[in-house]
Amino acid sequence: MRTAALALLLLAAPAGAAGFKPHDGLDFHPSPESLLADCRGAIRRADSRLEEIAALPDSARTFDDTPAALDRAVFGLADETASDVFLARVAVSSSVRAASGRCADLVGAWDAGVYARADLARAVEAYATRAGPASGKSGEKARLLAAELRDFKREGAFLPDAARAKLARVRARLAELDASYAENLLGAGDALLPRERLAGLSGSEVAALEKVGDLYKVPTDGAGYERFMARASDPQARRLVEERRDGRAASLNVAILAETLSRRREEAEILGYRSYAAYALETAMAGDPAAVRTFLAALARRLRPDARRELKALLALKSAREGRAAGRALYSWDWSYYDALLKRTEFPTDEEGFSEYFPVGPTVRRALDKLGSLLGLVFREVPDADVWSPGTSLYEIDDASGGSALGYVYLDLERRPGKDPRAAAYALTTARERADGSRQVPVSAVLASLPPAADGRPTLLTRADLAALLRELGRALQQTLSRAKYGRFSGSNVPRDFVEAVPDAFAELAWDPGVLDALAGWYLDPAKKPSPELIQGLLAARGADAALAGLRQTAFAQIDQDYRAPSPPSRPARDFARRMRRTALIRLPDGADPEASFPQLTGGGAARYYDRLWSRACARRLFAALTASGPLDPDAGRRFRTELLENAGGRGPAAAMAAFLGAAPDARSLAKAFRP
């Protein structure tokens, strides 16, 4: 009976299937077959657009029919397949999710091939040559042309055939190496410990571990590893687990990393770059390795005084538990345990008490109202919206002064089977100018995975949930309010080291006492607010060990840059240990090979570990200016909307920040503003 009932439920028409859609191209209720057919048809149409661009006579090329047409082809496909790709994250039907995932692979492969096409590269270069010096003028058109030429160069489209073939071989080998490195980590075994080595873990945590005879399997990765390292009071047990983690694939991955570093240098040389770091950072806000190294060095100096005081407190805890001799140094297997112990003992927080003041429905409504007041917007819920699942809602975003809709945002916050559990915001249709000069109304979707109401209480937001909600609402506003003419610069299409800056500035609102008071209301009595002591306790806990945590991330970023330099270290393990000791103030044991278990050192994120730190520093500068006259100052909010939400893409993040802050940011000023 249960199977038959479930089948009838899945076959039933989804809620809102005949309701309002903000864009005709969005279809949230396809069959798997129709989804893939639509996806393949959109790719064929995009291919035809590219062929038309390549076939134009060079003597007659214009900006609109070549660089702009290329941008429209790329983002036209993204818009036409938006719901086809998006449903992999939210569809109720597993077969629709599978078809959507297949579509995402097809679109991804198409995207990856565009800028490798020599015929398109020649077409854009021919336009640039024909336009002459006029094509180098400032403005969004000039930025688009420069970006397209740069990306053709980065993909080797201008290289001679022999060099292109060599580049293809190197990249194919790199893909093999990256996959092998990751697979070796997945295949490595867990640590096996006797029961007496599990002191500090709760009875339920011990019971959750798999047993092998009389021993318990402790994970060497993921949440299980992090939980053990934060809770296990036996230092030798923590050391054994960490050494197992670092050594689990060392016999294979040390050699793989060495070849990866060599191949990355070769890739950069073929493309004409001095180092792989120079190649990776060309598209970043930082711009080059020198700026990143300056930022990281300045950041280390900025954090070190506070970090030394924090280290002293951790070593005091260690001395009290392990003896004075043990308390002379903090080792890598000590960090998580003593950091968590300090926060539990010195900075206890009432997480459950905090959540009672933030029931999801009223909090979302208050957040939209406050963001609207801050930015000069109005959010109007669409009552008859076409949605992909019950519980999803659609809001129209309007300017407070009136006029047509600026954009739309879906909110899908409920947990359900098969749904992507991560909090995120996705652009479903891009804010950009159409070929006829009209403006496309953008659509975004904010996802979360909040638990259902239980025990007579509504769904309550944790402090992490609240910060994530504000962050992703900020990202959605960045996507929907963008005034960029071209899809390449629209919304979240900004440099990777800036992509979290605007969302993180919104997330910072979740830590401002004034904002928390405005958003809070006890679930049994909305007029009741959290006590100042509760909020101050949370803020104090957030700052505990923050400088040491920041130094640890700085050390990882320095290691990443070292490995991508023109002359990377001949002994990566020694460089890793040196950076951890000198920058992070944490020691590694002799003979450790942590570089063999650090997947951020391979793959597409190489030389980009610093991204999060840089974005965070940008966010702090923006948040400080946004709240200088109060947390919800509408004058600052409207300037933030104009300079950052609407224009950061079209003008570039550095110019947008300069307009909002009154001065252009540089590596040192960003490091000075950083707060973990």
- Any domain includes 670: no
Helix (H) or strand (E) segment spanning residue 429: strand 424-429
Of the candidates 49, 55, 86, 56, the residue with the CA atom closest to the CA atom of residue 71: 49
Tell me, yes or no, whether 221 and 119 share the same domain.
no
- pLDDT tens per residue, range 105-160: 999 999 999 999 999 999 999 999 988 876 656 689 999 999 999 999 999 999 99
- Any domain includes 581: no
Tell me, yes or no, whether 239 and 385 share the same domain.
no
Q: What is the pLDDT of residue 257?
A: 94
To 10 degrees, what angle do helices 546-563 and 572-579 make? 150
Tell me, yes or no, whether 154 and 225 share the same domain.
no
- Any domain includes 345: no
- Any domain includes 510: yes
For 8-16, the CB contacts below 8 A with 24+ separation are 10/92, 10/93, 14/92, 14/387, 14/388, 14/389, 15/387, 15/389, 15/390, 16/384, 16/385, 16/386, 16/387, 16/392
Q: Could you say which of 200, 230, 248 is where a domain stops?
A: 248
Gap between the Cα atoms of 573 and 18, Å rounded = 60
Gap between the Cα atoms of 326 and 342, Å rounded = 17
DSSP labels, 437-466:
SPBPPPEEEEEEEEPPPBTTB--B--HHHH
Tell me, yes or no, whether 495 and 534 share the same domain.
yes
Residue 583 per-residue DSSP state: I
Q: What is the pLDDT of residue 546?
A: 94
List, in order, residues 6 or more apart from 112 with CB less than 8 Å away.
none
Tell me, yes or no, whether 361 and 497 share the same domain.
yes
36-61 residues labelled b (16+ CB within 10 A) or e (exposed): bebbeebbeebeebbeebbebeeeeb
- In degrees, to the nearest 5, what angle opens at C-alpha 427 toward C-alphas 425 and 432? 145
Residue 192 per-residue DSSP state: E
Q: What is the pLDDT of residue 138?
A: 67
- pLDDT tens per residue, range 623-649: 999 999 998 999 999 999 999 999 998
Tell me, yes or no, whether 124 and 205 share the same domain.
no
Of the candidates 518, 565, 119, 552, the residue with the CA atom closest to the CA atom of residue 358: 518
Tell me, yes or no, whether 427 and 382 share the same domain.
yes
Dihedrals phi, psi of 193, to nearest 5 degrees: -130, 145
- Any domain includes 631: no
With the CA atoms of 226, 230, 234 and 238 taken in that order, what torsion angle do they form, in degrees rounded to the nearest 10? 30
Residues of the chain with pLDDT under 70: 1-18, 134-138, 187-188
Tokens of 481: 């309010």
Tell me, yes or no, whether 95 and 216 share the same domain.
no
Gap between the Cα atoms of 284 and 615, Å rounded = 11
- Any domain includes 212: yes
Tokens of 549: 């945590």
Q: What's the pTM value of the predicted model, to 2 decimals? A: 0.93
Tell me, yes or no, whether 129 and 67 share the same domain.
yes
Tell me, yes or no, whether 225 and 148 share the same domain.
no
Q: Could you say which of 222, 248, 274 is where a domain stops?
A: 248
Tell me, yes or no, whether 139 and 214 share the same domain.
no
Hunting for tokens 């890598």 — which residue is that?
332
* Greatest alpha-carbon span in the chain: 81
Of the candidates 154, 146, 156, the residue with the CA atom closest to the CA atom of residue 124: 146
- Any domain includes 39: yes
The enclosing domain of 460 has a CATH number of 3.40.390.10
Q: Could you say which of 492, 519, 543 is where a domain stops?
A: 543
Q: Which residues form the domain of 472? A: 354-543
Q: What is the pLDDT of residue 605?
A: 80
- Any domain includes 171: no
- pLDDT tens per residue, range 361-393: 999 999 999 999 999 999 999 999 999 999 999
Gap between the Cα atoms of 558 and 378, Å rounded = 44
Gap between the Cα atoms of 307 and 425, Å rounded = 34
